[in-house]
Amino acid sequence: MVTLTRNRVLLPVEKLRASLLANSKLHRTLYGFVVFEVEWNDNYVQSSYIAEFYKTISNIPSIVLALVGLVIALSQRFEKTFSNGSANLKYSFASSPNGKDPLYAVMHDVVTGFITRPEKSFSHAFLVLIGVSSLTYRGGKLHWIGQQQGDETPMVWEMLLYIYILYSPDWHYKSTMPTFLFLYGAVFAVFHSQICFDIGFKLHYIMLCLLFIPRMYKYYILTQDKPAKRLAKLYVLTLFLGLLCWLGDRLFCNKNSHWYFNPQGHALWHSFMAFNSYFANQFLIFCRAQQRGWNPRIAHFLGFFPYVKIQKPKSQ
């Protein structure tokens, strides 16, 4: 018996002929004859190779934009590569807290290295992972990502990273909160790989957003750079348009699927959120660069993609 929604069930060969006649929801696909517990409007309608065609290809902008952001960030050395890792390790043993616990210093470098250095461009890497996972899920609805673990967990990690960037200037103990965020993300990933939270995930994600968005508004008010403010406005605009498309598709899916032209609201939601995430990343990179004293300014890649150009002090 199928217990998870959106899973596919391959029918036994001996029952196939009877099912062809009796089951109107049977689909002939690349993977064989498939019947879904939940029947979506576009299950293998456009292609026998891709389950939800438009929802799948609409994830491509997410991947492309995330890769653009990643390349730009790396080209400006937002990431301190691991080529100096041996020097950091040596420093850790030589200068641990109170000079007594070198193991603590090494563990501190490992733990905080993943979440306390957003300049390492993890945010863009998470967006690539989200886009690829969502594309794979929509394209084949494979069992291993039945819970959408592949994109939901990086979404939470991304939010934890945003929370670090926005709240870190006010932390009194610089290592405690980053360590907590790292462990929180790791524990969530383990639990989410075993349990399908469904509505619980949505509520959890909304809670993280409620921590993130008001703080982002504070930075918007404090920022004097007009191009940077424009990034924040584009973030809000794409979020609003994306939610509008998602809500319209959610409420009127059964109706608009019979129209001559289906607006594909959920696919548009994916595309708008691709730009939304890109704008959010660039604005937060701007905020982070200001915190680090890197003299950030907004430039444009290929005359279209806004990005943060920095100028590090020679000492860095």
Whether residue 124 is annotated as binding a ligand: the answer is no
Check whether 40 is labelled as a binding-site residue. Answer: yes
**Domain identity same for 49 and 35:** no
Inside any domain, residue 103: no
Q: How many angstroms separate the CA atoms of 51 and 37, rounded?
A: 14
CATH number at residue 234: 1.20.1070
Digit-coded pLDDT (tens) for 75-134 = 777 644 223 333 333 333 333 334 444 333 433 443 444 444 444 445 555 555 555 555
- 37 marked as part of a ligand binding site: no
Give the pTM. Answer: 0.66
Please report whether residue 91 resides in a domain: no
Q: Residue holding tokens 């993977």?
A: 31
Has residue 121 been placed in a domain? yes
Q: 3-state DSSP: the chain helix, strand, coil percent, rounded to 5? A: 65, 10, 25
CA distance 29 to 6: 16
pLDDT one-digit tens code per residue, 215-257: 889 999 989 999 999 999 999 999 999 999 888 888 877 776 6
Number of domains composing the chain: 2
> Which strand (E) or helix (H) includes residue 73?
helix 60-75
Same domain, 221 and 267: yes
Find the domain containing 10 and state its range. Answer: 1-39
**DSSP string covering 208-226, please?**
HHHHHHHHHHHHHHH---H
Does 266 appear as a known binding residue?
A: yes
| Per-residue pLDDT tens over the stretch 173-221 | 777 888 888 899 889 888 887 777 778 888 998 999 899 888 889 999 9
Give the whole-angstrom CA distance, residue 156 versus residue 214. Answer: 17
- The answer to whether residue 281 sits within a structural domain is yes
CB contact at 8 A, 34 and 41: no
Which H or E element spans position 250?
helix 226-256
Cα dihedral sign for 183, 188, 189, 193? positive
Q: Identify the CA nearest to 237 among candidates 209, 208, 270, 272.
A: 272
